[in-house]
Amino acid sequence: MIDEQPSRTLYVKVRANLIRSAASFAGSGGTIATEASF
C-alpha cells in the first residue's frame, strides 16, 4: 500500500491544476462549459 500514496498525491496535484485552469476559464466567460466538464 506504500506505492498507493504517491499516486494519490499526484492525482491531487493534477486535480488542483484542473480546478485552477477551470477557474481561470470560468473567469473568461466559460462557466457553463466548465460545469459541464466536471
pTM: 0.48
C-alpha 25 chain-centroid distance: 12
C-alpha 8 chain-centroid distance: 13
Burial of 34 (0-12, 13-18, 19+ CB in 10 A): middle
- Tens digits of per-residue pLDDT, 1-38? 566 677 888 989 999 988 888 777 767 665 555 565 55
